[in-house]
């Protein structure tokens, strides 16, 4: 099995429908408006975000989050993942009545449990939610910068990228960068190439969440390749949310051929009926990546990970050893 690494998954968006239903039972809530027949139901990006918010609201204690992270990471490891960075949202925790500190402690506990069981390494990227406004995003950045949790290694911004101007969020990213955190920002998903260019100009991120609509502007694609900015590509999410009509129209192959550094990610896996394994399978079936190319995608993700150098070296060594080992039949 090709070893995998994931850099882009929203932890609340990774909650399986059955887990959300059991949380709803525990807290006396009704989720039938957006979960039925064992699956999430919504019809566009705005109703997806609403379902996401409603599911997140049912995780209310440190233990709820520990169990969520442990379940998600254990599943990821079973598909061959050796490393995961997931996005957290202190705003969602506060809206559910939990302090950002307790929320992060719970998630850290889940990462530790999954690592003990499977060996998977996990790190946390705190995000602000763009459509909650610049003040909220800055507050999230301050939390990320000061929380002191050893597994918090990055800061990012998710949410509706059509909301607000990039200049309004510059301070938040400066706070995070000055605290030594890695920077990743969502752009080029529902915003076009200009949103990717604006993100590069205003936030100087090491990585862009999605970024795929950069393909609309050849000069920008060249810039991304030259500057070595890593795109956290989420193919199934893009097709399910209608960013591209199907895999045949997805720009992964063009961006790859242009020399852009790309990783593969599941974004909000059960919402999109995907998993890290499916993303790699899609890249194999639709983008022509063989095992060597898929392993190179994992290598890119590990090179771009917001992780200490000792851990990165160990993960890269594990990848090299797996690649060198003869394939085992059966
Ligand atoms: N939050 C959760 N999933 C997201 C996505 N695909 N884009 C922007 N914000 C998100
Ligand atoms: Zn995302």
Tell me the average pLDDT across 203-228: 98
Q: Which residues line ion ligand 2, judged by CB < 5 Å? A: 267
Q: What is the pLDDT of residue 11?
A: 98
For helices 134-146 and 170-178, give the axis angle rounded to 10 degrees: 0
Pocket test for ligand 1, best of 8, 13, 126, 164 (most atoms within 8 A of CB): 13
Tell me the average pLDDT across 169-198: 97
> What's the chain's average pLDDT?
97
Q: What is the pLDDT of residue 324?
A: 93
Tell me the average pLDDT across 2-30: 98
Q: With bands split at pLDDT 50, 70 and 90, how would you rate the model's confidence at 261?
A: very high
Give the C-alpha separation, 324 to 45, whole Å: 42
Pocket test for ligand 1, best of 190, 232, 268, 271 (most atoms within 8 A of CB): 268
Candidates 6, 79, 189, 197; catalytic one: 189
Tell me the average pLDDT across 255-284: 98
Give the C-alpha separation, 296 to 275, whole Å: 19
User: What residue's CA is closest to ligand 1, atom 8?
Assistant: 159
User: What residue's CA is closest to ligand 1, atom 1?
Assistant: 159
Q: What is the pLDDT of residues 186-199, one digit of tens each?
A: 999 999 999 999 99
Tell me the average pLDDT across 47-59: 97
Give 36's contacts (C-beta < 8 A, 6+ positions apart). none
Task: List residues near ligand 1 (CB under 6 A).
Answer: 10, 13, 52, 158-159, 186, 189, 237, 267-268
Nearest ligand (C-alpha, residue 161)? 1
Give the C-alpha separation, 4 to 77, whole Å: 9
Token pair for 132 = 């909650």
Query: Quick check: 256 pLDDT over 80?
Result: yes
Q: What is the pLDDT of residue 3?
A: 98
Does 3.20.20.140 match the CATH number of domain 4-329?
Answer: yes
Q: What is the pLDDT of residue 327?
A: 67
Q: What is the pLDDT of residues 107-155, one digit of tens each?
A: 999 999 999 999 999 999 999 999 999 999 999 999 999 999 999 999 9
What percent helix, strand, coil does the chain show, rounded to 5?
55, 15, 30
Query: Quick check: 330 pLDDT over 50?
Result: no
Active site residue 25: no
């Amino acid at each position: 099995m090709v070893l995998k690494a994931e850099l882009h998954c929203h932890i609340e968006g990774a909650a399986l429908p059955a887990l959300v239903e059991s949380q709803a039972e525990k807290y006396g809530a009704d989720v039938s408006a957006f979960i039925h027949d064992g699956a999430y139901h919504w019809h566009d990006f705005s109703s997806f975000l609403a379902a996401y918010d409603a599911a997140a609201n049912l995780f209310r204690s440190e233990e709820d989050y520990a169990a969520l992270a442990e379940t998600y990471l254990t599943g990821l490891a079973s598909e061959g993942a050796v490393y995961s960075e997931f996005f957290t949202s202190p705003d969602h925790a506060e809206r559910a009545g939990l302090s950002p500190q307790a929320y992060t402690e719970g998630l850290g506990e889940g990462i530790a449990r999954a690592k003990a069981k499977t060996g998977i390494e996990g790190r946390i990227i705190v995000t602000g939610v763009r459509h909650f406004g610049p003040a909220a995003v800055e507050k999230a950045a301050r939390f990320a910068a000061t929380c002191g949790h050893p597994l918090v290694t990055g800061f990012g911004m998710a949410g509706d990228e059509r909301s607000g101007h990039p200049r309004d969020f510059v301070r938040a990213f400066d706070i995070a960068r000055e605290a030594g955190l890695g920077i990743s920002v969502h752009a080029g998903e529902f915003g076009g190439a200009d949103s990717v260019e604006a993100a590069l100009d205003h936030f100087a991120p090491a990585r862009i969440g999605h970024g795929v609509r950069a393909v609309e502007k050849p000069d920008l694609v060249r810039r991304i390749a030259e500057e070595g900015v890593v795109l956290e590509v989420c193919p199934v999410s893009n097709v399910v949310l209608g960013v591209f009509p199907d895999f045949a129209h997805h720009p992964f192959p063009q961006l790859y051929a242009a020399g852009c550094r790309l990783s593969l990610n599941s974004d909000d896996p059960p919402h999109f009926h995907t998993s890290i394994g499916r993303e790699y399978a899609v890249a194999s079936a639709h983008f022509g990546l063989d095992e060597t190319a898929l392993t190179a995608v994992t290598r890119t993700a590990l090179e771009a990970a917001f992780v200490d150098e000792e851990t990165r070296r160990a993960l890269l060594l594990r990848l090299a050893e797996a690649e060198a080992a003869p394939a085992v039949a059966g």
